[in-house]
Structure 1
Amino acid sequence: MKTFITPRMLPALLVAVLPSLAQADPLPSWNAGHNKSAIVDFVEAVSDPTSDDFVPQQQRIAVFDNDGTLWGEQPAYFQLMYALDRASEAEPEQLTSELHQAAAEGDIETVLEAGEEGIQALLSLSHQDVSLDEFEEDVSDWLSNATHPDTGRFYADMIYQPMLELLSYLRDSGFSTYIVSGGGLHFIRTFAEDVYGVPPQNVIGSTGGLEVKDLDSDPSLYKQEGDTWINDGPLKIVSIERHIGQRPIMAVGNSDGDVPMLIWTTQGDGPRMGVLVHHTDAEREVAYDRDSHIGRLADGLDQAEDRGWQLIDMASDWQRVYPQAP
């Protein structure tokens, strides 16, 4: 005998179903504790129209750093690992400096010790005189084939499962999620939607020179040398204002380069949240903070408590680090 649900039965059904839905854990890879509770309480409060802390949906904006926040960043930023692979294919006439030579030889320590100059030398061998279409296709191919030197995992598999859950939870709660990274804009846009569910227009990153070629026949954009916008530190605030046009209510990062973004976000009016991921898990990932040449976290550690930020202890707050892995 078939059972049909009539409109009169719906209230009773909702009473039976809603409690179980409310009990569903939106962050299943997070261990119970203060940080998880604080995040859930914040999201519930700002998205509940009956709450005193309710925030209209158009103002529910969350910004995330990428390297070290959404995926790994050791022993070097993954985009630099890509650049090293491509720099190894450089022609001899392109190696016009010691830094070029070091980059072509895969000497990442020499490149990083030279700071921004070393990174620019590396990128000049790997990110120039190529169309955006070719660049994005090449990055996609690299991500599909290259593996991390320490874990042996594909780079796109080294995303943080707890952060994927947080991104999804926020979007389900009416948030718009953005990536605001010091990494290359076009590099991140290649995979952000497939990996994080963040569309290209919601990615804000560092940029270099661009040139339009073949305008009359087949217009194409080419990556070139030129003015470089390093989207880090206070410049993240400038980029958010230019791109989004309003202050986020939530900011998530992992390094001192993210601290200005967290300060600016949490100093605004109304309910606000700042989150810092602290890499404490030497067993499942890498433990680092104050003395690291990548993702240094010192100012953030010193300010987190006084500013009321959630300092995520990766070792104790996360049940697992990567998808399908401990």
Structure 2
Amino acid sequence: MRIRLQATDTIITSSVAWIVLMLIGAFPVLAQEILPSWSDTVAKTRIVGFVKATTTEGGDGYVAPQDRIAVFDNDGTLWSEQPFYFQLGFMLDRVKTLAPQHPEWKTKEPFKSILEGDLKGIAKGGEKGIVELGMATHAGMTTDQFAKIVTDWFATAKHPKTGRPYDEMTFLPMRELLDYLRDNAFKTYIVSGGGVEFMRPITEKAYGIPPEQVVGSTIATEYAVVGDVPVLKRLPKIDFVDDGPGKPAGINKFIGRKPIFVAGNSDGDYEMLRWVTAAKGPAFAMIVHHTDAEREYAYDRKSEFGKLDKALDEAERRNWLVVDMKADWKKFYGFEN
């Protein structure tokens, strides 16, 4: 009886396996769509063409995996930057929280503009001004304390236009692009003018980019022992501004390999775009152009945040891909229907 049951089980198992194989043959597995949130336009075609050329062994454009470095600006490239930089939103909330301890801020800039809600006055300082504001509002605390403040803020703060958490305001097509590049053995980095310690607590969750692959503006830190515990204290002093010409310098200093793929959205990325595409061999540059006022924002040459003027003028001549967000993207955010 026992032998007979085993034989029966074998027959049944073999029959099931045969049926599965027949079904697989009748219904072949569909290939996963590449960049599904991108429209079938020239932009998608050029990106896919570059990736295929650089990853096809034996081809003229082949690049070894260790040299497949891709760098991305963050504000306006990977997530929204209007009506103000996310880091500025963080600063606004921090200043309001700390204001009762600093009555002098009522008459001192840039705190006066922040407390009065004067965004134009704040914007004049650009990303460097935001970094400097960070020096004033967060000096003296440890790096661990600051990381917790940032993490807690991201957990509760909401975008003023959509009412969504800031970490949901990442661009779905760009997240797909990051995944697509990594699936093809590219190593992806963020190279942003924003504060590196503001970005690092969130980038792995938001983009799959670990903290050690984030390059940004930094303030000076020093080693100290507090209550017999070694810590790193943040000082009210700028160490490095990773914007404009600082971006190529930052890539060289912190990454050590010249990228072959670069993405930005503003004139703050101009030097990085030029430097990467001036290299011998395969190189690809793209500019994310904000053209959809309904789904996001439409801005370029006259914007206080993410101004795009010079880089836009030179894009065609330098063979930089300009991504028209309205025409080239089917969806902007993961929460869209």
**What TM-score results when the alignment is normalised by the length of structure 1?**
0.91
Match of 1:46 in 2: 54
**Can you list the C-alpha shifts for 1:149-170, whole angstroms capped at 9, x where unaligned?**
1111111000000000000000
1:244 aligns with 2:244: no
| Preserved CA contact (<8 Å) 1:83 1:127 | no
Q: 1:81 aligns with which of 66, 79, 89?
A: 89
Residue 305 of structure 1 is aligned with which of 301, 311, 316?
316
CA apart distance, 1:216: 8.3
Written as runs of structure 1 = structure 2, the 5 A alignment for 1:257-276 is: 257-276=268-287
- Tell me the secondary structure at the aligned position of residue 90 of structure 2: helix
- Residue by residue over 1:67-103, the C-alpha shift from the partner in whole angstroms, topping out at 9 and shown as x without a partner, is 0000000111100100110001221256272322223
Superposition RMSD on alpha carbons, in Å?
A: 2.3
Report SS of the residue matched to 1:109. Answer: helix
Q: CA-to-partner distance for each residue in 1:20-59, whole Å, 9 max, x for gaps?
A: 43xx222000000111011001111111213221100000
Inter-partner Cα distance in structure 2 for 1:272 and 1:117: 29
Aligned to 1:72: 80
The answer as to whether partners of 1:131 and 1:220 remain within 8 angstroms in 2 is: yes
SS at structure 2 position matched to 1:186? helix
User: What is the CA–CA distance in structure 2 between the aligned matches of 1:124 and 1:108, rounded to whole Å?
Assistant: 19
CA distance in 2, matches of 1:282, 1:151: 13
Q: Pick the aligned partner of 2:238 from 221, 227, 230.
A: 227
Compare CA radii of gyration and give the structure with the larger one. 2
> What secondary structure sits across from 1:81 in the alignment?
helix
Q: Which moved more, 1:228-237 or 1:106-115?
A: 106-115
Hey, what's the Cα distance between the residues in 1 that align with 2:181 and 2:126? 35
CA distance in 2, matches of 1:87, 1:231: 23
CA-CA distance at 1:111 after TM superposition: 1.7
8 Å Cα contact 1:100-1:125 kept in structure 2 = no
Distance 2:332 2:128 in 1: 33
2:262–2:284 contact (8 Å) kept in structure 1: yes
1:124 to 1:53, Cα distance in 2 relative to 1, 3 A: closer
Q: Does 1:318 find its partner at 2:325?
A: no
Counterpart residue number, 1:286: 297
Change (3 A) 1:248 1:98: closer
Counterpart in the other structure of 1:165? 176
2:116 pairs with 1:108 = no
The CA deviation at 1:114 is 4.3
- The aligned amino acid for 1:223 is R
Q: SS of the residue aligned with 1:98?
A: coil
Quick one: distance in 2 between partners of 1:266 and 1:116? 24
1:117 offset after TM fit, Å?
7.5
How many residues end up aligned between the 2 structures? 317
Q: CA deviation at 1:126?
A: 2.7
1:143 corresponds to which of 149, 154, 177:
154
Structure 2: distance between partners of 1:219 and 1:254? 40
Deviation track 1:208-235 (CA, whole Å, cap 9, x = no partner) reads 1212221782111122211342111111
In structure 1, the gaps of 5 or more residues are none
Map Cα deviations across residues 117-155 of structure 1 (whole Å, 9 max, x no partner): 753563244322221111111111111111111111111
Does the 8 A contact of 2:135 with 2:219 survive in 1? no
Inter-partner Cα distance in structure 2 for 1:127 and 1:185? 14
Stretch deviating more after TM superposition (57-66 or 206-215): 206-215
Tell me the residue number matched to 1:63: 71
User: Which segment is superposed worse, 171-180 or 205-214?
Assistant: 205-214
Shift of 1:105: 4.0
Contact residue 111 and residue 122 of structure 1 kept, 8 A: no
| Aligned pairs for 1:209-228 within 5 A | 209-214=220-225, 217-228=228-239
2:29 matched to 1:29?
A: no
**Counterparts of 1:70 and 1:243, CA distance in 2:** 20
